[in-house]
Chain A
Amino acid sequence: VSVQGRANFKILRDTSTLRNRKSFPTSAPNTPVSKGQSCPTGNDAQSSNGTSAQFSSRLSDRHMCTVLLVLVVGLSFSTRLYKITEPPHVCWDETHFGKMGSYYINRTFFFDVHPPLGKMLIGLAGYMTGYDGTFPFMKPGDKYEHHNYWGMRGFCAVLGSLLPIFAYLIVLELSRSETAALIAASLLIFDTGCITISQYILLDPILMFFIMAAVLSMVKFNQPFSASWWLWLVLTGVNLAGALGVKFVGLFVILLVGLNTVWDLWRLLGDLSLSLVDIAKHFLARVVGLILFPLFFYVTVFAIHFVVLNKSGPGDGFFSSAFQSRLIGNNLHNASMPEYLAYGSTITVKNLRIAGGYLHSHWHLYPEGVGARQQQVTAYLHKDYNNLWLVHRQNTQSPTPDLVRHGDIIRLEHKETTRNLHSHLHEAPLTKKHFQVTGYGNNGTGDANDLWQVEVCGGQKGDLVKVLRSKVRFLHRATGCVLYSSGKTLPKWGWEQVEVTCSPYLKETPSSQWNIEDHINPKLPNISLSVLKPHFLEILLESHIVMIRGNSGLKPKDNEMNSKPWHWPINYQGLRFSGVNETEYRVYLLGNPVLWWMNLASLGLYLIMVAVASVALQRGFSLKHSHVLMRGGGLLLLGWLLHYAPFYTMGRVLYYHHYFPAMLFSSMLTGITLDILLKSADLLLRPPYSDWLQRAGQLVLLFTVLHSFYLFHPLSYGMTGPLAHEPGSSMAGLKWMDSWEF
């Protein structure tokens, strides 16, 4: 394939002198090309051929350019900031991200499936604008009352307003055509979906800001080793780190920049005028700017996250005992408990795999067909009284608190249900190669299958079991298997907790190792324990694994209507941000259908145009705009694909708003496609008429965009009164698809 690519590239260069031959039968082939439509932005090496405005001077061009940019900026900010404080209650996911912003202000530790940067910025914006972190963000619909929420919303809206501006600059850089840039920018400015998603306390505007900024810096980055080159390189790196720091979806833009960089390096490698030393310099600059520097920045974000959040909160149980001991208010912070495990103690047992849960049981049986119908034993990530177990000797209740030693045979009784930890030769529910673990017996009397041998890893017979610090394994006496947490999530009958099995494979892995976390024994003296403080990199790794687990654990619920990726480009169904009934203030996240369908159509159009252009190229002709079409358009198409296609393979629950980053790329592609399509009018008509056709097309486009925005703007700016299917509604007659819920 690469050979093919190179061949194309060559032909492109070789035939550059032929470009005007076909399309300008009346003018001489080598007319000096004017830079008519393009903004003089510094790099003119590959500018396209201007077709009109022959008489305009460079000065007025620059003037024009500024005016257009100011227009885009003005429209963008005004559409996003309009009615920013409406509705004055919690909308949709504000309940999560607003709450997490408050956690930063209160310095309370929490757990979320996304990396921290977005929420940190929200918290910062709230802090700067005088929000004190006291609003509870309990559920959507709660009134804000006197709390200062406008700062957080405004911050998101400002970042959201920058998106059309970035789109304008990116398309301008790629196509050197203001028309294309304006089309792209106006598609975003007047898209109701983009407006709605920018106006609330959400991660998406922040994420999209970083994505677009990264792409902008990437395309601006093309004058080797100049000061601006370094600046754009570093900015690309920062924005990549930022995008990843907000959501893991940022990986896709990293992939885009990575592919573009690889392509760029490959191009440089083929440039025989550069020495190997130059190429090495290029390579190293990119390694530093695009890998090391962003990595540093990303790690710094996490460092700040851990430093700021130093109080115990709702996310503690997801992390290891060592991690928890860092948090003020956690029972392991400056913990004090009996030092050695003893008979008669009440304990919690935590699995040592990363994000392993507490050994847990509850009043529910395994369902029919899943091993024996006995009580479930699972691993559970939250702190809960069902995590408590009692340590007993083999049979007799011991009066004196003897200490448990390596090699001792014990019985673990579940405190709440008085069943013993039990295993037998039945298949485990998910990991069929392992045995099932159940709760068995009553009031502590069970059978010989309830006996477990305690083994301290690396210990010898007679060693004591240290609370928190010893790694312990529990060997089942009867079958010789070892207590194991597989990390697989049980189905609904197991409350989506984690499976616990007994593994016949005795290899020492963290999955089969446990530690004693809480240890309560009133007969023994409490001793203050200073647990080993974990290293920062350990915390970093641990929190990543916890996040990734959490993400893949977000499985779609059966009775919830979940969104499918193919719904998104056709704008099949939106999301209710606020309000359901006629009396409520309703906001509905839905893209402007006219624009979205236009995007979809121009995707198809783009593919056709590329096919035509490349067949022509292969046959030896070069169409005028084919370079912009393939290089610039190709980059945007790749961006769209990378931000859209992976969702098809994701098992987690998906929402409509996941499409928005892809939609940005799609709109920019539409800008380039439609502009080139209109400019190609001269393939059909002679010059004056083709110009007229082009202008007419642009006007129709402008009118369509504005009119559709006028029709659908209540979706973003709020609807009250009757629903759309009733007459008298502001949206009457606009419910074009049954699946839209407004």
Chain B
Amino acid sequence: MHLLGLPLVVTAQVDLVLVLVSLLAFWTRLSRLSYPNAVVFDEVYYGQFVSLYMKRVFFIDDSGPPLGHMILAFGAYLGGFDGNFLWNRIGADYPSSVSVWSLRLLPALCGSLCVPLVYLLTLELNFSHLAALGAALLLLLENSLIVQSRFMLLESVLIFFVLLAFLSYLRFHNAPNRFSWLLLSGASCAAAVGVKYMGVFSYLLLLGVASLHTWNLIGDHTLNVCVQCVCRFMCLVVVPVLLYVFWFYIHLGLLSHSGPHDQLMSSAFQASLQGGLSRITQGQPLEVAYGSQVTLRSSASQPIPCWLHSHRANYPVRYENGRGSSHQQQVTCYPFKDVNNWWIIKDPGKQKLVVGSPPQPVRHGDVIQLVHGMTSRFLNSHDVAAPMSPHAQEVSGYIDFNVSMAAQNLWRVHISNREAESDVWKTILSEVRLVHVNTSAVLKLSGVSLPDWGFRQLEVVAEKLFKGHSSVLGWTVEEHRYGTSQEQKEREAELHSPTHIDIDRKMSFWAKFLELQWKMLTVKQEDSEHKYSSSPLEWITMETNIAYWLHSSTNAQIHLIGNPVSWGVANLSLLAYQLLAAVYLVRRRRGIKDLPDAVWCRFSCLGCVCVGGWVVNFVPFLLMEKTLFLYHYLPALCYLYVLSPALLEHAHTHLLSSAIQRQALGVCVSAVLLTVFLSYRNFCPLTYGSPELSANQLQGLRWRETWDILYRHR
């Protein structure tokens, strides 16, 4: 009864300014999203992964964790993209079956949402709505952010999550005990790191700010410090780590088919993918026995995955540099499946090359001989220098030339992961070293390519030094069957036939996660300079641009060029903040307090977030050796756009005393905003790719000598 007596009231407060800038943001980022209907710049790179997601084919991309790719793929999925498009060239037209709009929708949405986020972030930093509006406008009218948001690229998604993380953390800080904000902050951090590794630095900054706040809490005797610390730790460390792993869980769950990058992974990982190796290995016997026919894959994935191989060609009697060889049969490592990759495991004590019944498994420490399937030569090593690595021993298929060079073809099996598995040699699972019995050298992939006489295959050597753990020493059995034919002819036929029989094995998620993450961090692509690459110091002054797209017949083009006026404002405010902070600090140190404590606190918090954010998103690039582009600077730039209006407000309220000065500042700010808008309008044709400009107009937009703007000769 009591409840019914209450009036049903909805009170809503709507910040109209916020709504307005949001709408403008949506309009600038989302209008005519499907123009140009062609592949633009890095879409060609991310697109191939989107296609692979659609086909659920496994891949490795070392440029970042999978969340970003998955978000792009989700957009494609919503638009009904089936993955059937060949991403091979920038500027290629999309067929009508591809919904370009949906491919680009999610990044554009994230990019638009950054504008209201910046607005709210400024408010949470305890600055006025006017400053918030300023920050939102700077972001709104930044051409480079617009360009980067409107295509299937990841920067806008990264910026969105980073801003969201800071916003929600500051919300929590301003109103403690609302742990849902903290949780959101942790989740956004995980998302930011999941989109690009660069997110790690913002995450660390946030952790730093949070631990500083927590540290101050420790001195507070009125609180239950332990509970607070544990809660914060859970939300900001444990949850993000778990979520990060969860992205991989989805990623691996989605990608269940074998694909082009299989070869980079271990045999066990490959066997867990459908198709590819698992089709071959399905039904192989597990335990390697005397008489088994096997292919041996090197555990090293550098320079290229390969199998132990031999063929009917001998080492040249003399190498080009005059050194001699044994002239015995070549043993190499070959990166393709081939019938010459088959080897037979032989018991040195017996003559037969078939598996007994029951099969007698090979164990750790056993001595074996390896017979090459097609040529029946024994794997041999001796004290002759290897062709390309003269410090190591040559490995050959033994041929008796009657030159008093006895066969040394005994190898001891050393299973390096026998603790984790067992001391029986198992297909795919066991990593084996083959130790030469006579010289105790270890069979090793040197990684060097042989010259023409070795058909450019990779060199295999035996090295005497037994140094720690190294993947170049390990070999795994990949294809395996129990040999049944005693005669050479039959055996050759058998080697040509595919393998059969059945067993099943699974790899745990954690093992797969760790392997994939490790491979992603260590696989290095050959980095070379790109036509539009630039160095970090050039970004501050915007020395370079990037041409994203050029119309196939007209002069219409899209460039990544920032708004030069806003960049100038950002750089100035960065400089001004540092100078001001230095002056304040020195004066406070001398006991002169220019600012009340609350204001000082706000001022230093602004510095921690904005200048700190700029530093952590910029300085690491100075130390990186990879190919860098202007768009890497955009996250750092966003922090400066938050800084500039807040700093102006600070100057307005605390530095300027007379009304005239304040009015003058107001006029200046309006003038600057107007020029920002004008320069935004000016560069719009290069941002949206329309309207088409004449060569003279394009020449007029080339504000810097170093910018590369394309002219089509007609």
Contact between chains at A618 and B530 (CB < 8 Å): no
> Within 8 Å of chain A (Cβ to Cβ): is B447?
yes
> Within 8 Å of chain A (Cβ to Cβ): is B350?
no
Contact between chains at B466 and A738 (CB < 8 Å): yes
> Within 8 Å of chain A (Cβ to Cβ): is B212?
yes
Chain A residues contacting B22 (CB-CB under 8 Å) are none
Inter-chain CA distance A505–B219, complex, in Å, is 61
Give min CB distance, B226 to chain A, whole Å: 12
Query: Which of chain A's residues has its CB closest to B591's CB?
Result: A272
Contact between chains at B530 and A561 (CB < 8 Å): no
Contact between chains at B529 and A431 (CB < 8 Å): yes
Contact between chains at B591 and A4 (CB < 8 Å): no
Q: Which label, helix, strand, loop or mixed, suits the secondary structure of the B interface?
A: loop
Inter-chain CA distance A1–B211, complex, in Å, is 12
Given A432-B529, A649-B623, A741-B465, are A615 and B218 neighbors across the interface (CB < 8 Å)? yes
Contact between chains at A432 and B530 (CB < 8 Å): yes
Contact between chains at B218 and A433 (CB < 8 Å): no
Chain B residues contacting A649 (CB-CB under 8 Å) are 623
Which residue of the partner chain, among A1, A272, A619, contacts B218 with CB atoms under 8 Å?
Answer: A619
Chain B residues contacting A558 (CB-CB under 8 Å) are 447
> Within 8 Å of chain B (Cβ to Cβ): is A525?
no
Which residue of the partner chain, among A3, A4, A559, contacts B446 with CB atoms under 8 Å?
Answer: A559
> Within 8 Å of chain A (Cβ to Cβ): is B254?
no
Query: Which of chain A's residues has its CB closest to B470's CB?
Result: A561
Chain A residues contacting B215 (CB-CB under 8 Å) are 4, 618
Given A269-B590, A559-B389, A618-B219, are A432 and B467 neighbors across the interface (CB < 8 Å)? no
Chain A residues contacting B623 (CB-CB under 8 Å) are 649
Inter-chain CA distance A704–B465, complex, in Å, is 32
Inter-chain CA distance A615–B466, complex, in Å, is 48
Inter-chain CA distance A272–B591, complex, in Å, is 8
- Residue among A276, A431, A559 with the highest chain B CB neighbour number at 10 A: A559
Give min CB distance, A148 to chain B, whole Å: 35
> Within 8 Å of chain A (Cβ to Cβ): is B486?
no
> Within 8 Å of chain B (Cβ to Cβ): is A620?
yes
Given A2-B585, A269-B586, A558-B447, are A738 and B219 neighbors across the interface (CB < 8 Å)? no
> Within 8 Å of chain B (Cβ to Cβ): is A688?
no
Inter-chain CA distance A620–B218, complex, in Å, is 10
Query: Which of chain B's residues has its CB closest to A434's CB?
Result: B529
> Within 8 Å of chain A (Cβ to Cβ): is B528?
yes
Interface members, chain A 242-294 (any B CB < 8 Å): 266, 269-270, 272, 276
Inter-chain CA distance A737–B625, complex, in Å, is 34
> Within 8 Å of chain A (Cβ to Cβ): is B604?
yes
> Within 8 Å of chain A (Cβ to Cβ): is B531?
yes
Chain A residues contacting B625 (CB-CB under 8 Å) are 651
Given A3-B604, A432-B530, are A619 and B219 neighbors across the interface (CB < 8 Å)? yes
Give min CB distance, B385 to chain A, whole Å: 14
Chain A residues contacting B466 (CB-CB under 8 Å) are 738
> Within 8 Å of chain A (Cβ to Cβ): is B95?
no
Give min CB distance, B224 to chain A, whole Å: 13
Contact between chains at A738 and B586 (CB < 8 Å): no
Interface members, chain B 189-241 (any A CB < 8 Å): 212, 215, 218-219, 221
Inter-chain CA distance A554–B221, complex, in Å, is 56
Give min CB distance, A12 to chain B, whole Å: 14
> Within 8 Å of chain B (Cβ to Cβ): is A430?
yes
Give min CB distance, B359 to chain A, whole Å: 33
Query: Which of chain B's residues has its CB closest to A738's CB?
Result: B468
Inter-chain CA distance A71–B530, complex, in Å, is 63
Query: Which of chain B's residues has its CB closest to A616's CB?
Result: B218
> Within 8 Å of chain B (Cβ to Cβ): is A46?
no
Chain A residues contacting B589 (CB-CB under 8 Å) are 266, 269-270
**Interface residues as binary, A123-137 with B (CB distance below 8 Å gives 1, 0 otherwise):** 000000000000000
Inter-chain CA distance A573–B469, complex, in Å, is 13
> Within 8 Å of chain A (Cβ to Cβ): is B448?
yes
Give min CB distance, A17 to chain B, whole Å: 19
Inter-chain CA distance A457–B528, complex, in Å, is 33
Inter-chain CA distance A622–B353, complex, in Å, is 78
Query: Which of chain B's residues has its CB closest to A615's CB?
Result: B218
Chain B residues contacting A619 (CB-CB under 8 Å) are 218-219, 221
Give min CB distance, A365 to chain B, whole Å: 15
Inter-chain CA distance A701–B272, complex, in Å, is 53
- Residue among B529, B531, B586 with the highest chain A CB neighbour number at 10 A: B529
Contact between chains at B529 and A430 (CB < 8 Å): yes
> Within 8 Å of chain B (Cβ to Cβ): is A31?
no
**Interface residues as binary, A702-742 with B (CB distance below 8 Å gives 1, 0 otherwise):** 00000000000000000000000000000000000111010
Inter-chain CA distance A269–B389, complex, in Å, is 63
Give min CB distance, B401 to chain A, whole Å: 30
Inter-chain CA distance A55–B536, complex, in Å, is 65
Inter-chain CA distance A247–B218, complex, in Å, is 45
Inter-chain CA distance A572–B530, complex, in Å, is 39
Contact between chains at A739 and B467 (CB < 8 Å): yes
Chain A residues contacting B465 (CB-CB under 8 Å) are 741
Chain B residues contacting A572 (CB-CB under 8 Å) are 468
Chain B residues contacting A276 (CB-CB under 8 Å) are 590
Give min CB distance, A91 to chain B, whole Å: 20
Contact between chains at B530 and A4 (CB < 8 Å): no
Inter-chain CA distance A430–B528, complex, in Å, is 7
Inter-chain CA distance A3–B465, complex, in Å, is 56
Give min CB distance, A249 to chain B, whole Å: 18
Chain B residues contacting A559 (CB-CB under 8 Å) are 389, 446-448
Give min CB distance, B104 to chain A, whole Å: 28
Inter-chain CA distance A65–B467, complex, in Å, is 47
**Interface residues as binary, B565-609 with A (CB distance below 8 Å gives 1, 0 otherwise):** 000000000000000000001100111000000000000100000
Chain A residues contacting B447 (CB-CB under 8 Å) are 558-559
Give min CB distance, B375 to chain A, whole Å: 29
Chain B residues contacting A651 (CB-CB under 8 Å) are 625
Inter-chain CA distance A738–B591, complex, in Å, is 61
Chain B residues contacting A615 (CB-CB under 8 Å) are 218
Chain B residues contacting A2 (CB-CB under 8 Å) are 585
Give min CB distance, A565 to chain B, whole Å: 15
Give min CB distance, B584 to chain A, whole Å: 11
Which residue of the partner chain, among A4, A432, A620, contacts B528 with CB atoms under 8 Å?
Answer: A432
Chain B residues contacting A739 (CB-CB under 8 Å) are 467-468
**Interface residues as binary, B356-399 with A (CB distance below 8 Å gives 1, 0 otherwise):** 00000000000000000000000000000000010000000000
Interface members, chain B 430-489 (any A CB < 8 Å): 446-448, 465-468
Query: Which of chain B's residues has its CB closest to A486's CB?
Result: B529
Give min CB distance, B290 to chain A, whole Å: 29
Give min CB distance, B521 to chain A, whole Å: 15
**Interface residues as binary, A1-12 with B (CB distance below 8 Å gives 1, 0 otherwise):** 111100000000
Chain B residues contacting A738 (CB-CB under 8 Å) are 466-468
Inter-chain CA distance A561–B465, complex, in Å, is 11
Chain A residues contacting B585 (CB-CB under 8 Å) are 2
Give min CB distance, B392 to chain A, whole Å: 9
Give min CB distance, B440 to chain A, whole Å: 10
Inter-chain CA distance A561–B469, complex, in Å, is 12
Inter-chain CA distance A432–B534, complex, in Å, is 12
Give min CB distance, A355 to chain B, whole Å: 20
Query: Which of chain B's residues has its CB closest to A725's CB?
Result: B466
Chain A residues contacting B389 (CB-CB under 8 Å) are 559
Chain A residues contacting B467 (CB-CB under 8 Å) are 561, 738-739, 741
B: residues with CB less than 8 A from A are 212, 215, 218-219, 221, 389, 446-448, 465-468, 528-531, 533, 585-586, 589-591, 604, 623, 625
Which 8 pairs across A and B sit closest by C-beta, in order of nearness?
A: A739-B468, A432-B529, A618-B218, A618-B219, A269-B589, A270-B589, A649-B623, A272-B591
Known: A270-B589, A430-B529, A738-B466. 4 other contacts (CB 8 A): A2-B585, A272-B591, A430-B528, A573-B468
A: residues with CB less than 8 A from B are 1-4, 266, 269-270, 272, 276, 430-433, 558-559, 561, 572-573, 615, 618-620, 649, 651, 737-739, 741
Could you show 15 A-B contacts with beta carbons less than 8 Å apart?
Answer: A1-B212, A3-B604, A266-B589, A269-B586, A270-B589, A272-B591, A431-B529, A432-B530, A432-B533, A433-B531, A559-B389, A559-B448, A618-B218, A649-B623, A651-B625
